[in-house]
Amino acid sequence: MLSTLSRSQMLQRLASRYGMASSGGFARRFIAGETVEDAVAAARSLETRGRRITLDYLGESVATVEEATAAAREYGRLIGVLVAAGVERNLSLKLTQLGLDIDQATCIDNLRRILEPAQRHDVFVRIDMERSAYTAQTLEVFETLWRLDYRNIGIVLQSCLHRTDGDVHRMNELGARVRLVKGAYHEPADVAHQKKADVDAAYLRQMQRLLSHGNYPAFATHDERIHQEVRRAAAARNLRDDAYEFQLLYGIRRDLQETLLAGGNRVRVYVPFGHQWFPYFMRRLDERPANILFVLSALVGEWRSPHGP
């Protein structure tokens, strides 16, 4: 339902008007802002509180070469800003933002335009995973760049997909850094587990393999039970706390971030920003009912305010 609404042009226009309004816009809980400067300010704030960060310039499914080239150019500018600002040099991006829907060659060319300066400035770039229709292509692009000796890249795998056990093995064999997520997209039964219990079981199984054979895996989930299982599995292998990390989303479960940090764990926060924030924002609402309640209460406050709509 919400994923369909995320494509509504009318809702996007309304959201762009009120969602990012000053510091009180209802989307600011989950989005750092619309500009690079907003993102850097959020990154600095998180780092002062012990968090690591990865910045994501939001955008996906571009339809023209010009849009894809502009996105690559913006990531190039972001690298320069990160270097100048002195914040952690870690980025996340989606391949459909770089032209994967146009053709794979265009996407690879744009990704190389980002990876070249990233490699020179010691910036790590994580390729996000999108809907299952893109999984095979995304891994092909990743492996192409890996064969070209780009080692400042990582990949995301979704435990909800039936194929992911094999993909975990494939990435472990390469020595690639994997971020493991449950998956934020509604997928058909022939490609993905439909029951939460099955997704959780797959996540735990893949987590064990990443801890045993992976290269600095990242476990991106807000599921406290899984956090406990990760720590238990790491302790059983005598792994140090710096052998893996937990990743959480900006603005979600900040209490859990504090708990993990207090326990000596590495915590990285995924910091999204940019004008194309609406589809990402709607997925966050779709994932967790508590997020919808938060936004509704914020909207009620804005409507009651003398400065509201």
Active site residues: 128, 179
Within 92-223, residue ranges assigned H as helices are: 104-120, 135-147, 164-174, 196-213
Residue type, 149: D
- Closest of 217, 272, 273, 278 to residue 246, by C-alpha: 217
Compute the distance between CA of residue 47 and CA of residue 178 in angstroms, rounded to an integer.
22
Q: What are phi and psi of 132, to 5 degrees?
A: -60, -25
Assigned token pair, 192:
């993905």
Long-range contacts of 41-48 (CB under 8 A, 24+ apart): 42/250, 42/271, 42/273, 43/85, 43/87, 43/88, 43/271, 44/85, 44/87, 46/269, 46/271, 47/87, 47/88
User: Which residues are CB-contacts of 258 (< 8 A; sequence separation ≥ 6)?
Assistant: none
Beta strands in the chain (DSSP E): 52-57, 90-93, 124-127, 153-158, 177-181, 218-220, 245-249, 267-273
Do residues 130 and 96 make contact, with C-beta atoms less than 8 angstroms apart? yes
Compute the distance between CA of residue 109 and CA of residue 105 in angstroms, rounded to an integer.
6
